[in-house]
Amino acid sequence: MDFKRTHLFQVLLLLGCLIVLGVKVECQKGSWSFSYVAPSCRAQSVSIAEFGGVGDGTTVNTEAFRKAIEHLSEFSETGGGQLYIPPGRWLTGSFNLTDHFTLYLHKEAVILGSQDLEDWPLIPPLPSYGMGRDAPGPRYSSLINGYNLTDVVITGDNGTIDGQGAIWWQKFHKKILKNTRGYLVELMYSKDIIISNLTFLNSPAWNLHPVYSSNILIQYVTILAPLDSPNTDGIDPDSCSYVRIEDCYVVSGDDIVAIKSGWDEYGISFGMPSQHIVIRRLVGISPTSAIIALGSEMSGGIQDVRAEDIQAINSETGIRIKTSPGRGGFVKDIFVNRMTMVNMKWAFTMTGSYGSHPDNKYDPNALPAVERISYSNIVATNVSVAGKLDGIANAPFKDICLTNVTITMAAKSKKYPWNCTYIHGLSNAVYPQPCSLLEERPAEGDAFCPSPQELDTTEENSLQHCSYSSSH
């Protein structure tokens, strides 16, 4: 065979095709081929169908997922493993992932969350929260869980993970849930994580919840939940370091990205901040909440958050800092650059009296420190209130800086576009004219507001391109 034919032969093999008489080509049913980037490529690949999985939308596949992942966990130290989800509707209860592992969904694959609450076993509350967020005591597992893992990839060709959350939202509204709802994905105490090229639908509560984890890339993800679904936050990095959220589209009934770090006395004693977080090219719609929220659970501290090229549409608020006496901790070194907003209630909010305490054991003298918050190059149109910025009387929010912010007020806007209490800061080129607590200063030199230092990326793994094919 000449070079061209050899090459064609290889390509067809990759596509899982059977070559008959050199001419007739049959691509076998159930074969697959794909590629993606990962911290390392995997030595073993299996399909959920090989472990008794049935993608008919009604068979519960929890055992198939558990068995397949248990099998692949045997290879975590010898090249890693990958679980392929072919086209179909794969109903399942909660399952745990393993180390050096990839979950890959075909574009027509849908993982469906079981409607039987028993399929979401109860687990202890998060130590930095002391109790469940909806109710004290244990909480439901998430649909996909990871504990103490290294090198996990959840990806696909825009396949779907659908939590079928309506049953949970109804029970939550009727106040008949005895335990806190689970999430779609929760990865705890883990590192080197990629979640990419997938669509997440209808989570019972938050969608993606990395917690006590580091080196996380969330990319090309679509997250959709009904606008009135309760607490369906998009992406909530919680006590996490080195997180990159890029090119995501999120529509939800709560915050689009909410950075957190534990709740009151439990978060203070756990003491693990969220830091070194980059959010880029995010588009969000959140009519009842924020596009980017810092808090309200922030007792371990939040620092060094860089948000760039963010688009807010039809939302309650663009950027919101929420905290309370009793939280302790800090929110500092927050840099938002290049953001557009349309049809908003508030462009910016800071809430120093958010309340929402786990119990009455919090220390009212544990005051959060909110400082060095910069908002630059922002254009907002059809906004009811430009800024509602309320700090805390004996712990004012300080070093707030706004520059090049142009807000076009809605026809029926409030008389005073800004309303500020217990904050200090500076402003330059902000329209309409900001509250007097954001003192107007002329710009001297290039950058009026501080800009972040180069992010140290030595903790980031280099990624490899991995290709796989099969003809099962």
Ligand X SMILES: *[C@@H]1O[C@H](CO)[C@@H](O)[C@H](O)[C@H]1NC(C)=O
The site for ligand X (CB under 6 A) is made up of 36, 94-96, 121, 123, 141, 145, 147-148, 157-158, 189, 197, 199, 220, 222, 338, 343, 377, 379, 382, 404, 410, 416, 419
Contact 166, 115 (CB under 8 A): no
Smallest gap, in angstroms, from Cβ of residue 157 to ligand X?
Answer: 5
| Catalytic residue from among 254, 264, 304, 390 | 254
The strand pairing partners of 403, in sequence order, are: 376, 428
Report the residue number, 366 or 417, with the smaller CB distance to ligand X: 417
- Smallest gap from residue 442 Cβ to ligand X (A): 13
| CB nearer ligand X, residue 140 or residue 242 | 140
348 phi and psi angles, rounded to 5 deg:
-125, 135
Q: 240 vs 366, which CB is nearer to ligand X?
A: 240
Rounded least distance, CB 223 to ligand X, Å: 10
What is the phi-psi region of residue 175: left when phi exceeds 0, alpha when psi lies from -120 to 50, beta otherwise? left
Give CA separation, 226 vs 211, 313, 324, in Å: 25, 15, 29
Q: 264: part of which helix (H) or strand (E)?
A: helix 264-270
Distance of closest approach, residue 338 Cβ to ligand X, in angstroms: 5
User: C-beta of 106: minimal distance to ligand X in Å?
Assistant: 11
Segment holding 465, helix H or strand E: strand 464-470
**Element (DSSP H or E) covering residue 70:** helix 62-73
Tell me the β-bridge partners of 258.
Answer: 293
Catalytic-residue membership of 254: yes
Specify the residue, 31 or 314, whose C-beta has the smaller distance to ligand X: 314
Residue 33 or 96: the one with the smaller Cβ distance to ligand X is: 96
**Residue labelled with tokens 């980031």:** 460
Give 145 or 180: the residue with its C-beta nearer to ligand X.
145
In the complex, least distance from residue 249 CB atom to ligand X, rounded to whole angstroms: 7
Rg value, the chain, Cα:
24
Q: Exposed, middle or buried: residue 26 (CB in 10 Å: 0-12, 13-18, 19+)?
A: exposed
3 residue type, one letter = F
CA–CA separation, 413 and 447 (whole Å): 31
| Dist CA 135 CA 299 (whole Å) | 19
Q: What is the largest CA-CA distance in the chain?
A: 83
Q: In terms of DSSP H, where are the helices of 89-201?
A: 166-173
Which residues have a catalytic role annotated? 254
